[in-house]
Amino acid sequence: MKIQLALFVLIGLATVRKAVPEACSPSGSVRLVWGAGPWEGNVQICLNGGWGWICQNSFYTNEAKVVCRQLGFNATGSVYRRYAYYGWPDPSLPIWLDQLGCHGTESNIMSCPQPKAIGDASCNHNALAAVLCPNQGANPNCSEGSLRLLRNQASTPFKSYGRVEICHSNRWGSICDSGWGTPDAKVACGQLGYTASAASSYCCATYGQSYGPVWLSNMGCTSSNNQLTSCTHDNFGANTCSHSKDAGAGCRGEVTGSCTNGAVKLFRPYGIGPNNDGLALYCNNSRWVGFCDDGWSCHNARLICKKLGFPAALNTRWEGYYGYYKQTDTYRFYCRSTNTDLSQCSYTYRSSCTSLNDQIGVICYKPIISKTCTDGQVRLQNGNTTSEGRVEYCYEGRWNPVCSLTGIAASLICKQLGYNSTLATIIDDQRFNRSDIRSVFNTFSCSSTTPSLGQCNNTMKGSACFTSVSKCTTEVGLRCHNTAFTTCTDGQSRLVNGTLAQEGRVEVCLSGIWGSVCQNGFGQSDAYVICKELGYNGPSPNVYYRSKYGESTGPIVYSNLKCKGWETVLTECTKDTFPSISCSPQNTIGLICKDDCSDGDVRLVGGGFANEGTVEVCMDHMWGLVSDAGWNASHAKVVCRQLGFTSGIFKPYTGSAFGKPNNRILLKNVKCSGHELKLIDCANYQLGLWGGRKQLATTNVAGVDCIYDEPTDPPCGTKAAYYDTTPGPQCVPLNNIVRLTENSTKSAGRVEYCYNGYWSPLCKMDNKLAMVICRYLGFSQYSYGSIIESGEFGNLMNVSLIDNVTCTGTESTPFHCTYHQSPSSCTPFCSKNLGIRCFNQGICTNGAVRLMDGIIENEGRIEVCVNGVWGTVCDQGFTKTDANIVCKQLGLPDTEPIVLPNSEFGDGTYPIVYSNVTCGGWESTITQCNKVQYENTVCSRKHTAGVLCGYDCNDGDVRLVNSLSSSATYEGTVEVCFENLWGLIADTNWSQQDAVVVCRQLGFETSGTQSVTGSHFGKPNMRLHLSNVACLGTEDSISQCNYNTYSLSQGKTQLATTDVAGVKCYIPANCVAPPSSGTACSDGSVKLVGGSNNGEGILEFCYKGNWSPFCYLGPNEATVACRQLGHTSYDMTAVFTDGRFGSLAGVSLFQNISCALNLAANQLGDCLIADSCQSTCKNVVGLRCYDAANCQEGQVRLVNGTKTEGRLEVCYKGVWGSVCGVGFDVTDAFVACKELGLGMSEPTVYTNSHYGDGDGAIVYYNTSCKGYESSIVGCNKQIYGMFTCSRNNVVGVACQEGCSNGAVRLINGSSSNEGTVEVCYYNTWGLVTDGGWSDSEAQVVCRQLNFQGGNARIGSPYGRPNAPVLISNTQCSGSESSISSCQYTHLSEDQSSGLAGANVAGVRCSAATIPPSASSHRLSSSGIGLTVLSLLLALFIAISVSLVAFMVYKWRKGPKRYSPIVTLNSDPQDASNPMATANMWPNGEKDDEEEDDEMLQLMNE
């Protein structure tokens, strides 16, 4: 063996070494290592007192210039190289710099812009920058006659090929190719340490031009020469050659001398660089040959490294990193995942293994052993407590982060740390900061029966073949638990960390520790069971994902719950339990449970008795509280009566007197008159869930006591004895027994009775006594008297001298009645003396009825005429049936009235003539009903009945009243109907959009609509219904808008001080009256014209005998039109205003037709027609009606784009329809893309009909997804018929597929090695135009896909997939490692759409072939000879030939449609080598052979 060659070979170097950082100075200095000389190598920089590397990211020619200049070289011609070209180091040295941004003029590398901090590098040690400085500096320091090989190209060159340069006079120069030939190249290669027996010569500056002089020419070497200077040649510098004739050589490596068969080694030229990286050599027949890479299995590399004493392989590299070796083995190894030594691998003849480019390099993993800790130790770092932190494990003598954890491993870690609970919390959000340590350690592999962490298997980063020295993508944290610090009973459930009692994070007790529940698979049935267990029996609990109520301090104990709904406790449900779950603490479930109550229900809580407590009101199945602001007796009265307390005094309480439960504040600013039937009927401001929760802490709440014992007048008082014993002088009973006082009239006053000569007030009086008194006072024809209880006429004294006076009612004078004396010690007491009012006949007609003292129309106190005098009706027993008879008698609509008891409109002046009215409902007048009549009525004047009669209208109806012109129907004050009552709209914030909706609802054309405020058209005597109306302008009716409501009481009391809204639905000056009549058609008929298919076309309506198109038509009206046309299968149609069905004169004989009040109409003639004026439009309305289903309910698709983008369409009621852009955002698009299986990356949303508006109905509006829904059907939204949407506002979506930039694949081919080329950019697969597409580009694609070569196919021979064109003008040299390394034009979206018909590129890659016959033998590492192996040959051949043939067949066939996807350096934290390839199959399937052997794992490039 040659002495020079011995210098090339790495012999006897340790494969494991200790990490000893190499000190350096000064800071910022650089050096090149592992090159053939100081002019080349991987770049190292001195920082923080130690040498480290520079990452290749953004390292290009400018950076190379700065390095060369700093090293004293001329920067001109500086070449950058990548992927640790001069050797793949171990991770003992840090990577100091990344993403430099040099301008190329800096004097040193630290002067370059540095966007990242020192030490913050995103690449691994396989992606380091390297530099070649070919232009010598001031001190080249070369030896006379020494040689070097240089290659100026930046792409990865063959290390043994290059321009030959020779040193003369301490200066490098080139050799002229005149006379240069193979003998000269052999001498040069031999001098450089390569074999002199094989070399190639190159002319014409093949490897670039030198920067020095041309030293030699006319070389004449022979085999006897061993140095170029010993060959014949012209004198140094004595030539006229230009550098365009610089000579080059291609050399071969060779290790001479004998070797032991079966031995392996890694070869590096010049013997320089890391001993774990080199060309793989194998000793065959006592000589070293290169491993053949045909059909290379990554397990070959694994076993080569193992045989060399390394624990694992990092990757493989192509021979270009090392140069060609002289001879390649003609047999190839094929190892499997089950093989543990090379001797177990198949070893078969390969006829194609004779070429030099069938060699391969291997990089082995060389551990760096430290003594920082003892292997197997574990610790938690950077936690807030000792029980939590980032998990670090001692491996190879140093602390390493852990990249992932199973529940079993987490439990064993906590056990080793001394915690007694088997539960643990795995935390993967890196809250405990990162160590960013690069290592091979990944995680633990433990089984359920593993007793301790030390008995788990340690797993390394990477694949089954290759390990990776890299950072963890996630450095996992952990929280351990002790049962001693928690107390709960297994199976208990609770809600925690919520503001309200019925909300919070779900926690369950398991093994004595509270833990949370994972959101995976969690649904409504699971939520219902939990809430039911907690005592909440209401429907549809709210489910919240992503730890809305914060993370639990405990573990996640349950996942994938599958409750049916009938279970009584959560533990009865099917579920996964720790440690058999994988879930992040950020993905736990929260709930808001619902109560079993109905909207408007009230209850009292917190009181000592059932009749008292804090008031709670139900809304949306949740109890809420009432703010005590303004809370008074009227409010308490309504609450108590709603609860069934009909008597007593109702006392309000403020200041949270009975406590404040943890429920939301629901109502504020409550204003009751006291007569409402429910608290919710009172005027109020209702808070949403968020606002009510927020105000809970700062708001005091209301309470009531429904039987409050307030002091009352005592039942009796004391009178002086002389009233009974001594007659008084004030009156004479026989002459004047009764008088009326304190009133100017003789018909009313305080009643005084003459007792023993003294005037006495009365504390008791019934109707019969009142009749006798009125008769006695001269009212003989009508003696009904109104008893006045209010003290209106003042007090004589607080006691009555007699107990009572009783009459039969027929007496002419009270003197004939019986008086009842009271004892002196207890005579009746009354602080309000009774009065009376008497009447004369002739005021009214008997039986007539009227409503008095109401504020608005159709309401008031009921008065009925009896005996010519008006009288009131007692509210005792008075019901809606009785009130309905009154309303009908008044000629008002037969609708459900509102009964207003308790003298809502005052008690009036007339007597209470009826009580206990009981009508059957059939009567025409109230006089026909059963009742108690005066004088037998017993009723306080506080209980007269009132009524509010309804109107014949439906909720949401609108009308215009008080037009300034009696004939104008297009303008007026707006009235809206709710609860059968017409009411007004306050003009606060009344806008053009609100007016447009009113006019549309009334059937008018919306163009020219004006909003009117300030009660411009007057203010009818109606209640206020709405205020702060806020319409978008697209709604079909006012009821679809947002607004505030008034209670009945509030709407009446604020009427006087509130201005109301009006509209003008068009400008009368533009009005053209429609024609009066015609004979062309039958009124109300409809037809479609101009459509190419049945059920589509321009809609025409027969109006007054003339056919007329529409200028406007809403979706509900369109549905009625289709129904009238016989298309009754679907209550849905598509409306078009773009003239797609042809053109008609844009004039409609009417303004509009509105079916808002009759959605079930079967013909348009049954709907409201606004026809004051004709209307004009650019295009008249067209329709498409539906007859048959063409899709399955809930399906989604993308139309008019590519497979990943297009107009979003949803199957609604069996018909494809589009989605309106209003409210549609990225979250909604994400759910749609997820449903389509198009990746989890953020999509792009278009709301401007970017992909066309389609030809179907717009079926969804204001879509609002949360993001967790599995289908867009499950999102909140408005559906067809509830909205209008412009066809210019249809949604389009561009989904992202989740592939990596630069990845390529082949599709539509008959086998895996051919097809149309698709390339990934920005998460989207797209096409390549075939302009300029050649075999050079095809070679790169095939290499990237792990094939050995290929040919271009142009003209879309494999078809043109439905995908965008992403790149064009691709130009490759053919040597690039990936298509992304070539030059090309990346197309914008607009550019891509312009190439919709362009031909696209394809390739057909070469597939490996199997020789017709193969001889094989077994290699024995223990020295077993071929003689022994041949005994097994017959059996082995039969098995292996069949197996290999099958494998090749499968390999060639591949997946039916897709070829392997190759991703190059897609993730800066990826554990794999960016230069290496990974065999990934899109359909997720491999046959057994492929999966076992990982067959297509090849070299870097």
Which residues, 6+ apart, have CB-to-CB distance to 354 below 8 Å? Answer: 328, 330
Instruction: Specify the DSSP class assigned to residue 1240.
Output: S
Does residue 47 contact residue 118 with C-beta atoms inside 8 Å? yes
Distance of alpha carbon 152 from alpha carbon 149, whole angstroms: 10
**The CA-based dihedral angle spanning residues 1390, 1392, 1393, 1397, taken in that order and rounded to the nearest 10 degrees:** 150
Distance of alpha carbon 85 from alpha carbon 1083, whole angstroms: 88
Q: Report, as ranges of residue numbers, the positions in the chain whose pLDDT lies below 70.
A: 1-21, 138-139, 154-157, 484-486, 708-714, 742-744, 965-968, 1066-1070, 1156-1157, 1239-1241, 1282, 1298, 1322, 1389-1390, 1408-1501
Q: What pLDDT is stored for residue 1480 in this prediction?
A: 29
DSSP output for 654-665: -SSTT---SS-E
Phi, psi (deg, nearest 5) at residue 490: -50, 135
Query: If we measure between CA atoms, which residue out of 549, 553, 583, 427 comes closest to residue 486?
Result: 553
Distance of alpha carbon 96 from alpha carbon 94, whole angstroms: 6
**3-class SS of residue 1127:** coil
Tokens 């297994």 belong to 490
Distance of alpha carbon 803 from alpha carbon 805, whole angstroms: 7
Which residues, 6+ apart, have CB-to-CB distance to 992 below 8 Å? Answer: 1009, 1010, 1011, 1033
Q: Which two tokens stand for residue 659?
A: 């406590």
Q: What is the 3-state secondary structure (H, E, C) of 531-583?
A: HHHCCCCCCCCEEECCCCCCCCCCCEEEEEEECCCCCCCHHHCEEEECCCCCC
Distance of alpha carbon 767 from alpha carbon 935, whole angstroms: 5
pLDDT digits (tens, 9 = 90+) for 306-332: 999 998 998 888 887 888 888 889 888
Which helix (H) or strand (E) element contains residue 675? none
Does residue 1104 contact residue 1083 with C-beta atoms inside 8 Å? yes
Distance of alpha carbon 901 from alpha carbon 947, whole angstroms: 8
Q: What pLDDT is stored for residue 983 in this prediction?
A: 92
pLDDT digits (tens, 9 = 90+) for 274-308: 999 999 999 999 999 999 988 888 899 999 999 99
Q: What pLDDT is stored for residue 156 in this prediction?
A: 58
- What is the Cα gyration radius of the chain? 49
Q: What pLDDT is stored for residue 128 in this prediction?
A: 94
Does residue 189 contact residue 279 with C-beta atoms inside 8 Å? no
Which helix (H) or strand (E) element contains residue 803? strand 802-806
Q: What is the 3-state secondary structure (H, E, C) of 41-88?
A: EEEEEEECCEEEEEECCCCCHHHHHHHHHHCCCCCCCCEEECCCCCCC
Distance of alpha carbon 1019 from alpha carbon 1305, whole angstroms: 74
Query: If we measure between CA atoms, which residue out of 927, 928, 934, 931 comes closest to residue 911?
Result: 934
Q: Which residues pair with 1317 in a beta bridge?
A: 1306
Instruction: Specify the DSSP class assigned to residue 1319.
Output: E
Beta strand 171-175 pairing with 214-216:
parallel
Count Cβ neighbours within 10 Å for each residue of 781-812 and write b for 16 or more, e otherwise.
ebbbbbbbbeebbeebebbbbbbbbebebebe
Distance of alpha carbon 671 from alpha carbon 682, whole angstroms: 6
Beta strand 1182-1185 pairing with 1175-1176:
unpaired
**HSE-up of residue 1442 (Cα within 13 Å, Cβ side):** 5
Q: What pLDDT is stored for residue 344 in this prediction?
A: 93
Query: If we measure between CA atoms, which residue out of 1413, 1343, 1432 comes closest to residue 1381?
Result: 1343
pLDDT digits (tens, 9 = 90+) for 247-277: 999 999 999 888 999 999 999 888 888 999 9
Distance of alpha carbon 1388 from alpha carbon 1399, whole angstroms: 18
Q: Cα separations (Å) of 563 from 244, 508, 541?
A: 81, 15, 14
pLDDT digits (tens, 9 = 90+) for 1082-1126: 899 999 998 888 888 999 999 989 999 988 788 888 889 998 998
Which residues, 6+ apart, have CB-to-CB distance to 763 below 8 Å? Answer: 799, 800, 828, 829, 830, 833, 834
Cβ-in-10-Å burial (0-12, 13-18, 19+) of 16 comes to middle
Does residue 321 contact residue 315 with C-beta atoms inside 8 Å? no
Distance of alpha carbon 886 from alpha carbon 863, whole angstroms: 10
Query: If we measure between CA atoms, which residue out of 1329, 1375, 1377 comes closest to residue 1352?
Result: 1329
Distance of alpha carbon 701 from alpha carbon 657, whole angstroms: 8
Largest CA distance in the chain: 172
Distance of alpha carbon 168 from alpha carbon 352, whole angstroms: 43
Distance of alpha carbon 1243 from alpha carbon 1250, whole angstroms: 15
**HSE-up of residue 142 (Cα within 13 Å, Cβ side):** 22
Does residue 164 contact residue 249 with C-beta atoms inside 8 Å? yes
Does residue 676 contact residue 640 with C-beta atoms inside 8 Å? no
**HSE-up of residue 463 (Cα within 13 Å, Cβ side):** 23
Does residue 323 contact residue 285 with C-beta atoms inside 8 Å? no
Query: Amino acid letter at 388?
Result: E
Distance of alpha carbon 955 from alpha carbon 976, whole angstroms: 8
Does residue 282 contact residue 289 with C-beta atoms inside 8 Å? yes
Does residue 799 contact residue 828 with C-beta atoms inside 8 Å? yes
DSSP output for 951-972: -S--TT-EEEE--SSTT--SEE
Is the dihedral angle over the CA atoms 690, 692, 693, 698 positive or is it negative? positive
Which helix (H) or strand (E) element contains residue 444? strand 441-445
Does residue 793 contact residue 750 with C-beta atoms inside 8 Å? yes
Q: What pLDDT is stored for residue 1368 in this prediction?
A: 87
Which helix (H) or strand (E) element contains residue 1124? helix 1115-1124
